[in-house]
Amino acid sequence: LLFLSLVCFFCSISNSNLQGTGFNVCHQFQEVRAIKRCKKIGIKTPEVYGSDDSTGKIFMEDLTKAKTLRDHLLEHVHDYSQQMGLMSKIGEILGKMHSNNIIHGDLTTSNMMLDENSEIIYIY
């Protein structure tokens, strides 16, 4: 499952913006459902406040202070021990997701986020 961008409080992704991309209300429902399933099994996710089926918008927690794992790794390219710790944490999270039949589908370092302390990883 492809989690939508979580870097904003109000995701401005709407059906009109995504015409021709295959995104629809069914995909929106799947995104919200996947986030809720991850939270239910103890994976740190942004809080989802709701969604609007008519526009395809998802309302969620503000993560503007978070940064992508990609940016963090580029900033700390010589800190091997920290990078190994992050990779281990990612493996734990993905293992937990897969053991609960939650498959991401588009996993890159650009769609994983670290909080302000560079400790908690959000995968979207």
* Catalytic site positions: 106
The owner of tokens 């939508």 is 4
Question: β-strands 121-123, 112-114: how paired?
Answer: antiparallel
Alpha-carbon distance 44 to 40, whole Å?
A: 9
Task: Fill in the DSSP letter of residue 46.
Answer: P
Alpha-carbon distance 12 to 112, whole Å?
A: 19
